Amino acid sequence: MAFSSLVAITLAIFYISGGSPAAGDSFTVNLLHRDSIDSPLYDHSMTFAQRLGHALQRSFINAKRFQRNQHGSTYQADLIPNHGEFLMNISFGNPPHKTLAIADTGSDLSWMQCKPCIKCYNHTGPLFNPKSSSTYQPVSCNSTTCQAMDTTSCSPMETCQFFESYADGSVANGTVAEETVTLGGRVIPNFIFGCSFFNDGIFQPAWAGIVGLGGGDFSLVTQIGPFGPHSKFSYCLIPYPVTNELTNKSSKMTFGDFDFGPNVVSTPLVLIEPKTYYFVTFLGISVGNTRINVSDHSAPSTAFSKGNMIVDSGTTLTMLPRKLYGEFETAIKNAINLRTMKDPEKHVSLCYRSAKITSVPKVMMHFDGADVELGRENVLVTVSKHISCLAFSPTNGLGVMGNIAQINHMVGFDLWHNTVSFKSTDCEKI
């Protein structure tokens, strides 16, 4: 999923060798939110409430990807074609061909629209031409790389073909290849990506393609440097701007080793297929002294399972199991005890006039081995000039810890030790 804050975010990537980054060996690229004033997708005619409303709506679309059926886990990527969240400057080939692509934490394989396009969506920039690159190399059908991928086939030319389809009918199809990638001036050789010659569906003209930041074998996270099984990355998201206010401050994401120091809590990452998503075990949520447990709301015929929530910075709201959410909303109402209002965009159910809220109860999300305390900026989101709403919503599928709940927390993923860590932090000061 892609990151859903309303500000520009800076991605600092550390090149790891032997399990830890060399001192000072880092490079930085910018990630622009699709609603950032610096983004080519920025719509000056939209109000703050409309932009935030679109982000909240993306939460509901995104949550559908994480629903499980009775016979196992099936996950459908239906968010990316419609609602890419952040744009990344990235160059492919030698000489480098600079593109602006969607940075997506909810997918693995990166793909770019390429020449010659059999069928392509309208793109504002020039297409990548593999024939112009001295380092482009198609992957063969019988290679271990091709055989390790899920949605590949063999072309008449014996090259590996990828096919990505989305719930709204959008598709991307082309050749799996190795190529040189340049990020922030740092060169990454032999990067596995998809050179797409057939694309159809709902894509924005500014998008050259997708950059996958998930946890799978062929994501950018895994492929940058000699990460191997030692992949680590972290980020700290600053609060959303209030109404149309803009800020020069940015969120930061670091690829490589991290040390949060004291007062950090950690919970195991649960290894569930697909490896793309970051699963944790959610035990419940507290409002003041009232704790609401997931186990109390499990159906008698359904055993409580590990990995029942995804930590996803590409989803805006935090999605809670429907019955648990009902008790949680009631507890919030009882604690705030003010006259409620309606969300002008009708996305969330519990809202208040912002000026009337003098205090917010202590809210704690309970995970296996980690209690994460939420502040006011995690519990309520300003949806218009005068209205703040509960930044949670019910779901019938897997729970999702969205990015509002992660604001002002250092969040670190250690894919070597399979943990995710949290530390309360003023992200504007780091």
- What is the C-alpha to C-alpha distance for residues 11 and 28, in angstroms, rounded to an integer? 6
- Per the document, the length of the chain is 430
Q: Which of these, 104, 378, 382, lies nearest to 220 by C-alpha position?
A: 104
Q: Which of these, 122, 139, 205, 203, lies nearest to 174 by C-alpha position?
A: 139
Beta strands at 209-212 and 111-113: parallel, antiparallel or unpaired: antiparallel
Q: Which of these, 394, 416, 380, 425, lies nearest to 322 by C-alpha position?
A: 394
Q: What tens digit of pLDDT does each residue of 26-53 get? A: 444 444 544 444 445 444 554 555 545 5
Q: What tens digit of pLDDT does each residue of 312-330 get? A: 877 788 999 999 999 999 9
> Which sequence positions are flagged as catalytic?
104, 312
pLDDT at site 303: 44
Contact 237, 141 (CB under 8 A): no
- What is the C-alpha to C-alpha distance for residues 424 and 430, in angstroms, rounded to an integer? 12
Q: In the numeric block, which tokens belong to residue 105?
A: 């934490």
Q: Provide mean pLDDT across the span 194-223.
A: 84
Q: With 80 as the cut, is the pLDDT of residue 209 above it?
A: yes
Element (DSSP H or E) covering residue 152: strand 152-154
Q: Provide mean pLDDT across the span 279-295.
A: 95
Residue that the structure tokens 């218009």 belong to: 384
Q: Which residues pair with 413 in a beta bridge?
A: 233, 420
pLDDT at site 230: 54
- What is the C-alpha to C-alpha distance for residues 215 and 409, in angstroms, rounded to an integer? 21
Q: Provide mean pLDDT across the span 383-402.
A: 88
Q: Which of these, 208, 201, 116, lies nearest to 163 by C-alpha position?
A: 201
pLDDT at site 205: 76
Query: Maximum CA pair distance of the chain?
Result: 68
Beta strands at 363-367 and 20-33: parallel, antiparallel or unpaired: unpaired
pLDDT at site 249: 61
Per DSSP, 21 falls in state E
Domains of the chain: 9-236 (2.40.70.10), 260-429 (2.40.70.10)
